[in-house]
């Protein structure tokens, strides 16, 4: 679901915002073409034709009637637009009873999700279609933002406070979540998704209690599982697999290489090093990088970490 311009695609509420947008665009466009059209018309029609002479220009200094009108009419127009915008907004902010409450806590640079039944996730929120969802938003360190462009809504995430945002996702799909309050180096990498599932599929997913990497897949090679963990746990928001540098060091060719650390030492990136970097990232900080990586000690199971290490070894 990537066509953000699709009119009211994700929810009927989004459709109402789009309608308001179109109305403002039409009204604004009308006044723009009216005024600028007249401007261009006057500029052309009244251009000086005889050089070096002023021609005859009337001493018009004002018109009380015109000036009154063009104070009155814009005033009425803006009040109307205000009212319309306010009504749509008020609906947006009025949460519906029976909404599922999903906690989202942002930290540099990921979203930690917690469902009512205690399940947790990173950077991925799954909800059933047709049911209202209320997001309870907070932040652990600095301001972050929670923006669902397809739903036309956003809310800031503030340390020490809980802000709320509710949506009613009508159509199944995978919707983008962006961070919209500048939060540091990884701000543009804090990508997440809201996955709206058909009710039946959603029930399946809940029943099988899928975790971070997911155990549900029998006979899944460790490296494939590891790749999935890397995506789902938010690693790829900060680490690139192709050699570029994002927030943290790239993973290409990492395993087995000699890594220079802050403080002068060098260490060999063996399995132990990789494991330690995941559960205690601050123990050895790579030279030239900030010590900002959070620990995954409690978020990833031992199996997931094994899988991740296996995956990292494949990145030559």
Partner 1 sequence: MAETSGVGRGYLAVRGWRSWAFTLDHKRIGAMYLWTTIFFFLVGGVFALLLRLELLSPQTRYFSNHAYNVFFTLHGSMMIFLFIIPAIPSGLGNFFIPLHIGARDVAFPRLNLASYWVFAAGFLVIIGSLVAPMDTGWTFYTPYSAKSAAAVTTLSLGLFLIGLSSILTGLNFIVTIHKLRAPGMTWHRMPLFLWSMYATSIIQVIATPVVGVTFLLLAAERLLGVGFYDPAKGGDPVLFQHFFWFYSHPVVYVMILPAMGIISEVIPVFSRKPIFGYKAIAYSSLAIAFLGFLVWGHHMFTSGMSPLANAIFSFLTFFVAVPTAVKVFNWIATLYKGSITFESPMLYALTFIFLFAVGGLTGPFLGALATNVQLHDTYFVVAHFHYTMMGGTVMGFFAGLHYWFPKMTGKMLNEKVARIAWALVFIGFNVTFFTMFIVGTRGMPRRYAEYLPRFHTENVISTIGSAVLAIGILVMCWNFLQGLRKGAPAPADPWRALSLEWRAASPPETENFHEIPVVTEWPYGYGTTKA
Q: What are the angstrom distances between the C-alpha of 175 and each of 3, 152, 157, 207? A: 10, 11, 19, 23
Q: In the window 145-164, what residues touch partner 1 (CB under 8 A)?
A: 145, 147, 149-150, 152-156, 158-161, 163
**Closer residue to partner 1, CB minimum distance, 4 or 283:** 4
| CB of residue 249 to partner 1, shortest distance in Å | 12
How far apart CA 104 and CA 192 sit, in angstroms, is: 11
The answer to the question of residue 119 lying near partner 1 (CB under 8 A) is: no
Sole window of 33-41, 126-134, 211-219, 266-274 interacting with partner 1 (rule: CB under 8 A): 33-41
How far apart CA 135 and CA 157 sit, in angstroms, is: 11
Q: In the window 34-53, what residues touch partner 1 (CB under 8 A)?
A: 35-36, 38-39, 42-43, 46-48
- By CB under 8 A, name the one of 7, 12, 26, 70 that touches partner 1: 70
**Closer residue to partner 1, CB minimum distance, 130 or 149:** 149
The answer to the question of residue 236 lying near partner 1 (CB under 8 A) is: no
The answer to the question of residue 185 lying near partner 1 (CB under 8 A) is: yes
Q: What are the angstrom distances between the C-alpha of 260 and each of 110, 160, 263, 266, 273? A: 26, 37, 9, 4, 13
- By CB under 8 A, name the one of 132, 172, 184, 250 that touches partner 1: 184
Residues 141, 109: contact at Cβ < 8 Å?
A: no
Backbone angles phi, psi at 311, to 5 degrees: -65, -45
The answer to the question of residue 26 lying near partner 1 (CB under 8 A) is: no
Alpha carbon 305 to its chain centroid, in Å, reads 27
Is residue 118 classed as helix, strand or coil in its secondary structure? coil
**Closer residue to partner 1, CB minimum distance, 81 or 206:** 81
């Amino acid at each position: 679901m990537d066509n953000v311009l699709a009119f009211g695609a994700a929810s009927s509420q989004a459709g109402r915002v789009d309608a308001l947008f179109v109305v403002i665009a039409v009204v604004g466009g009308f006044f723009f073409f009216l005024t600028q059209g007249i401007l261009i018309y006057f500029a052309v029609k009244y251009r000086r034709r005889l050089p070096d002479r002023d021609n005859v220009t009337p001493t018009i200094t004002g018109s009380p009637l015109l000036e009154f009108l063009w104070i009155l009419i814009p005033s009425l127009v803006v009040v109307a637009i205000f009212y319309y915008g306010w009504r749509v907004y008020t609906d947006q902010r009025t949460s519906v009873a029976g909404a599922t409450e999903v906690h989202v806590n942002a930290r540099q640079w990921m979203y930690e999700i917690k469902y009512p039944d205690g399940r947790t996730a990173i950077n991925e929120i799954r909800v059933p279609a047709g049911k209202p969802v209320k997001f309870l938003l907070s932040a652990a360190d600095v301001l972050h933002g929670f923006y669902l462009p397809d739903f036309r809504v956003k809310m800031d995430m503030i340390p020490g406070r809980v802000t709320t945002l509710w949506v009613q996702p009508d159509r199944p799909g995978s919707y983008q979540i962006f961070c919209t309050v500048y939060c540091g180096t990884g701000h543009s990498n804090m990508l997440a998704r809201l996955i709206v599932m058909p009710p039946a599929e959603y029930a399946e997913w809940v029943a099988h209690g899928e975790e971070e990497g997911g155990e549900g897949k029998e006979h899944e090679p460790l490296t494939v599982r590891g790749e999935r963990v890397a995506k789902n746990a938010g690693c790829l928001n900060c680490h690139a697999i192709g050699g570029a540098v994002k927030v943290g060091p790239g993973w290409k060719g990492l395993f087995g290489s000699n890594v220079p650390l802050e403080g002068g030492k060098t260490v060999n990136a063996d399995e132990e090093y990789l494991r330690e970097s995941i559960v205690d990232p601050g123990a050895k900080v790579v030279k030239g990088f900030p010590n900002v990586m959070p620990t995954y000690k409690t978020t990833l199971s031992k199996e997931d970490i094994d899988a991740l290490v296996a995956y990292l070894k494949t990145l030559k």
